[in-house]
A and B are shown apart, each in its own frame.
Chain A
Amino acid sequence: MQEFLSAILLSSGYNTALVCIGAAILGAASGAIGVFILLRKRSLVSDAVSHATLPGVVLAFILGEILWGYGRSLPFILAGAAFSSMLGVMAVDAIKTHTRLTEDTAIGTVLSTFFALGMVLLTIVQSMSIAGQAGLEGFLLGATSGMLFSEAVTIAVASMIVGIAIVLRMKEFTLLCFDENFAASSGYNVKWLDRSLLILLVSVVVIGLKTVGLVLIVALAIIPPVAARFWTERVPVLVGISATIGALGSYIGAAISSTAPSLPTGGIIVLILFFLFLVSLLLSPVRGVLAAYIRHRRFQKIVHTRQGLLTIANGQPILEPLTRKLMIKNSYMCGDGRVTDYGFSVAQKMARDQELWNRFKELDPEAAHSLQDWSLRPIEEVLPYDVVSELETGLKPHTV
């Protein structure tokens, strides 16, 4: 605990602090880019992107060994990863557009075949018997504990650059996700925008390989935006919240993992992100499950009460259990199903209200359609007085 506290407060060594900050920046960048990927409904493309890095990583390592006798140069390996994952993305698009196969099949094909190719190459590396090949395993699940200072700096700086690029292009990406056709008609090159979105995704994934690992890096681009989705409907806010969640999860995860080197960093980060997701899912007052349930129950009650009263006014029996229960609870009905006098008078009033609403809808269907409260609340509470009285003059005199 002591260790963890000192790690989280950035006081357990320069290296650890740098790793944590680097992870946080990375988390923020991937959280932000993930929002746009989610809005374009392409979340699992990031899975193909991450798995497709493996052959590039291994090939770059082999090439480095052959050329300079040193394969572990991080920038070189990351360049290899970026190259092969771009190939992967292009393959997904090619399969999707040129064959009858669907996107999910394309993603699955690319991720498994590329990764398998990486595995084959990896066994070749093992047979080359080079010292230091063990470092490659770290790319699978991420390892921050043995990270060199220069590597930590590379990751932090690269994430920063990607983050800035996302912020600069935010307006265009928002437009792309919101209305592709409109974006095209207002002079944006949609194809290029889409591609730059994927390039940024690839960059984030590649930068995150060392910290989170290629199996789990996709979580960094998926979980934060999904969690953020529960808090807001507005894209800029969504990006902000998603980036915050990503940063928070990665920061805490990296800190924990630096104190317990046997724990894979990627795993810890993902579990913390999931916790943040769970909290959002359940408790967010905006779109959270609990809030939605309460709202739905309230709505259901309103609808059933109104319908029950209208049924009474029509002189028909009420069959539905929930409606009956509500009628009895409000003493519109006795326990044995007889309607009370009070129930009748409220029912008449409700029938009148419904008639007015119907009349309103007849005269102005568009307005009625766009009105959230149409026929859910008494009409005088929703529409201005003069409108209601005008509607009333159109109806036959009210006789009870």
Chain B
Amino acid sequence: MRMGGQKARLVAQQGEPVSAYNPDDNPFHVSGLTVAYHNKPVLWNVSYTAPKGQLTAIIGPNGAGKSTFLKAALGLIPRLSGETQVFGQPVKTALNKIAYVPQRSAVDWDFPATALDVVLMGLYGKVGWFRWPGKSHRQKAKKALQAVGMEAFANRQIGQLSGGQQQRVFLARSLAQDAEVYLMDEPFSGVDAATEKAIVEVLRQLVEADKTVLVVHHDLETVNDYYSNILMLNGQYIASGPVETAFTAQNLQKAYGGRLASTQLEGLKAKSC
């Protein structure tokens, strides 16, 4: 480590060791991320290391900067400071290891593309410049659609699918990308029960395959059931860790403040014990 001397001194000063940090093992490591709009920080000094092979929910109140965190960490929007490393590499050179599923409202649903087209796009990175996707790519895309139960809609224009079906197509696309790290921005928002089930199933399979998955999640009631870890944000880092230890009423109070009704809080506390 390049700051060995400093580290030694710090240990002496503070009496607790700096956490051992082996970059090559960390699928997704963000340090000191700050994002500002109009010279006002919306995300302040967030450092976070995602646990490998785990399913993590990113939670926090509205405007807490959850989506901003994902986008800025990926370098899709400008950041004021901070760096992201993917398996020890700067994120810019490691984007092929990441699959990002944007919020559903982010694309033009009237675009002339079918469900299969959209999934195929996830494979474009493997197809490479200039070349057209071939039969094997189509096969792969169809398999991904199958995994989310959408094979029957392969040739449907995406605008003619229901909200839940659209979400599933996007999920299939990220599966086709075959990445190591999956970042999903509110995949559960506005979907039907069947889709919710399908998404949960896919997330489970991803984790089984030792993928690292981060999901921006809104519904606090289901955090316990779906996820093993959480990252809690409120414009800044609040807490992170396994659900049992980090998803506590105290942390929730910290993140949500008065915005979470006390009865709601009690209910969550009861659940988490």
| Residue positions of A touching B, CB distance < 8 A | 100, 295-296, 299-300, 303-304, 306-307, 310-311, 315-320, 322-323, 336-339, 344, 358, 361-366, 369, 372, 374-376
Contacts and interface: CB of A to CB of B under 8 A. Distances in A.
Interface of B: 1-3, 5-7, 9-11, 13-14, 16, 18, 31-32, 34, 36, 39-41, 44-45, 47, 61, 63, 80-83, 110, 234-236, 253-254, 256-259
B80 A303 contact: yes
Nearest to A373: B40
A100 B110 contact: yes
Contacts of A364: 257-258
Given A315-B13, A375-B41, A303 B110 contact: no
A339 to B, nearest CB: 6
Contacts of A315: 10-11, 13-14, 16, 18
Given A315-B11, A317-B1, A317-B3, A365 B36 contact: no
Nearest to A341: B13
Contacts, number: 85
Given A319-B83, A322-B81, A363-B257, A299 B32 contact: no
Given A304-B81, A320-B81, A365-B61, A337 B6 contact: yes
Nearest to A313: B14
Contacts of A374: 41
A319 B90 CA distance: 12
Given A300-B80, A338-B5, A344 B44 contact: no
A311 B18 CA distance: 12
A303 B7 contact: no
A33 to B, nearest CB: 28
Given A306-B45, A336-B5, A344-B13, 11 more contacts: A303-B34, A307-B32, A311-B32, A315-B14, A319-B83, A320-B81, A339-B10, A361-B234, A361-B257, A365-B259, A369-B63
Contacts of B47: 316
A365 B13 CA distance: 34
Contacts of B44: 375
A186 to B, nearest CB: 28
Contacts of A318: 3
Nearest to B32: A307
Contacts of B14: 315
Nearest to B254: A362
Contacts of B45: 306-307, 310
A203 to B, nearest CB: 35
B237 to A, nearest CB: 10
Contacts of A316: 18, 31, 47
A303 B258 contact: no
Contacts of B39: 295-296, 299
A307 B253 CA distance: 25
Contacts of B259: 365
Contact of B81 (A296, A323, A363): A323
Contacts of B253: 362
Contacts of A323: 32, 81
A310 B82 CA distance: 13
B40 A372 contact: yes
B41 A338 contact: no
A295 B61 CA distance: 30
A361 B2 CA distance: 36
Contacts of A311: 32
Contacts of A320: 32, 81-83
B36 A303 contact: yes
18 contacts: A100-B110, A299-B39, A300-B80, A303-B80, A303-B81, A307-B34, A311-B32, A315-B16, A316-B18, A316-B47, A319-B31, A320-B32, A339-B10, A358-B236, A362-B257, A365-B257, A369-B63, A375-B44
Q: Nearest 8 A-B pairs (CB), nearest first?
A: A365-B257, A315-B10, A317-B3, A299-B39, A307-B45, A362-B254, A315-B14, A337-B3
